[in-house]
Amino acid sequence: MRRFPAASHRPTSTYNKLSIVSAAVLCAVIAFTAGPSAAQEPEVFGEVIDVRVVNLEVVVTEKGERVTGMGPDDFELLVDKEPVAIEYFTEVSGGTAVARDDSGESAALPALAPGEPVGTSYLVFIDEFFTLARDRDRVLDALSEQLPNLQNQDRMAIVAYDGRRVDMLANWTDNIPELTRELRKAKDRKARGLERYSERRVFDTGRELEAGVNRGQTYLGADTSFGAEQEQMALRISGQVENAVRAATATLRGFANPPGRKVMLLLSGGWPADPMRWVASEEAGFFDDRGIPRGNDLLGDLSTTANRLSYTIYPVDMPGVTYQAVDAARGNVQEANLSQESSRVREQEEEAALLQLARETGGEAFLNGVRTSAFERAVADTRTYYWIGFTPSWQGNDSEHSVEIRVKRKGLKVRTRDSFLDLSRSTEVSMMVESALLFGGAPGATPLDISVGRGKRSGIGKRDVPLSIQVPLHELTFLPSAEGFASEVELRIAVLDSDGNSAEEIPVIPFGYKSPRVPAPGEVAFMPFETQLRMRNKPHTLVVSLYDVPSGKILTGRAEVQKR
């Protein structure tokens, strides 16, 4: 095995931005040499998901009761408000594909025969960052008791998010005793809702003192303008929700292709849809933008990814850290009433986020008293529906398209997802890299050999850290070119700091290698690639990926950077 002189490239990064000093495409001229044929092949994290057909799970009701026995001619499909032909149609009743007579013009979905059981894959996402252990454990106990609702062909996977990373507690399985054990173990994990409680309690107490609540003034002060302290708190909460949304989105990417219908049971501890309104705790009022994400800007990545991967989201309220900010026992009736109003507004914001995710993906939100029956309700809701499919004209341009299903009979209500995203190949790969970052990288042996040096100080609280990557040239695809053969590769570096903050965008560094010939079987060659990252002087996790553009293969490596 021969190693070639290093190719050097020097981008810089912080925990929330990775800037590229040089945007030039890096090309190196190389020659292959024979190496040990028994060398271990690096593992591949994944391939770009090639979604051709958009499948819509459509629920039709009349006065709250399911309507069955409909055919494709009873529906109208609109994409971006324009009629589109229904290419695939299957009615699922009680978890089984329904046979249709010969007059049906639309074919059933591929590999789904009449009378065949249609399994459901339930992906359980446990939010440990926002929730209190008491509330989480009640929902987990109820979920354990309802596991016998799993039927033939069903399966479940369980993950937990602690504010920094996602841990897989159970991979896809239909083994109820195993799932019960993992849910029991999940109760032993630390829930960090008390930390969120303390953060917000300190903030509210400070605002009470500043406003002079005990002197009878309006809660949070007579001046209802959005001040600097409120803005900072809203930014903090927005960042926390963004990280949780990113983790849930990465979870969908990591479990993208289970068989059957796909459902995410999202156990949330309280994600406000509008952090500014949550902080101000006011029923009405105008707050300027201030660059603080809210609504679709805050939650949109999760719903669009779910729609792209045909996941239906069923959020479960657990119910988080909303509380009575002022103690009614103090004897001030006005204070108590204002405190109740504050809690009500905050609860509305947290429920609004869950309702939005359910509405946009065709699911239902299980709030308040129904949270402990969430799984059996989700199972019942996913047993009977219509599966409608069509093939868009994919452009790969990251554009979002609206989708609407109408029924021709009056008095019927329809529930399904409302959009799909035409992801570019570049965005697909970046999302997969982010998933690897939060899930701990590819399973098994590290497929990509990377190493980090000690680095040196670079400004206050920052340092430059050298990164070396051994690029396995024998794993790349070389295509004919004017100078022999050339590869097309994209490098991505994702960074996660000890507080759970990651880059706003994962930069894409294109480069390539040229060779007078393609490697023969058994030939092994590496090219060192060196770069430098600028980051804060705190622990970081790096995930590095090489994306071989012609083949769609992705190689990943992971490294830990310690504080110096």
Q: For 170, phi and psi rounded to 5 degrees?
A: -150, 130
Digit-coded pLDDT (tens) for 497-520: 776 676 666 788 888 888 888 877
E strand map for 354-412: 385-390, 399-407
CA dihedral sign, ordered 295, 301, 307, 312 = negative
Which residues are CB-contacts of 369 (< 8 A; sequence separation ≥ 6)? none
At residue 15, does pLDDT exceed 60? no
Residue 181 has a CB neighbour count (10 Å cut-off) of 14
Fill in the amino acid letter for 540: H
Q: For 161, phi and psi rounded to 5 degrees?
A: -115, 120
> Which pLDDT score, from 0 to 100, does residue 439 have?
66
Quick one: tokens of 306? 């779910």
3-state SS assignment for residue 146? coil
Digit-coded pLDDT (tens) for 357-391: 999 999 999 998 899 999 999 999 998 899 898 98
Q: Region 192-202: what's the mean pLDDT?
A: 86
Q: Could you tell me how far CA 259 lies from the centroid of its own chain?
A: 19
Place of tokens 């490596």: 557
pTM, two decimal places: 0.72
Fill in the amino acid letter for 435: S
**Environment class of residue 493 by beta-carbon count within 10 Å: exposed (0-12), middle (13-18) or buried (19+)?**
buried
> Which pLDDT score, from 0 to 100, does residue 491 have?
87
Quick one: tokens of 303? 């719903």
Lowest mean pLDDT among 109-118, 138-147, 535-544: 109-118
Helix axes 296-308, 228-254, angle to 10 degrees: 10
pLDDT band at residue 547 using 50, 70 and 90 as cut-offs: confident
> Which pLDDT score, from 0 to 100, does residue 108 have?
45
Which residues are CB-contacts of 401 (< 8 A; sequence separation ≥ 6)? 79, 80, 392, 419, 420, 421, 422
At residue 312, does pLDDT exceed 90? yes
Q: Domains in the chain, please, with CATH?
A: 2-45+441-561 (2.60.40.10), 54-118+383-422 (no CATH), 124-370 (3.40.50.410)
Digit-coded pLDDT (tens) for 30-63: 544 433 333 333 233 344 455 578 889 999 999 8
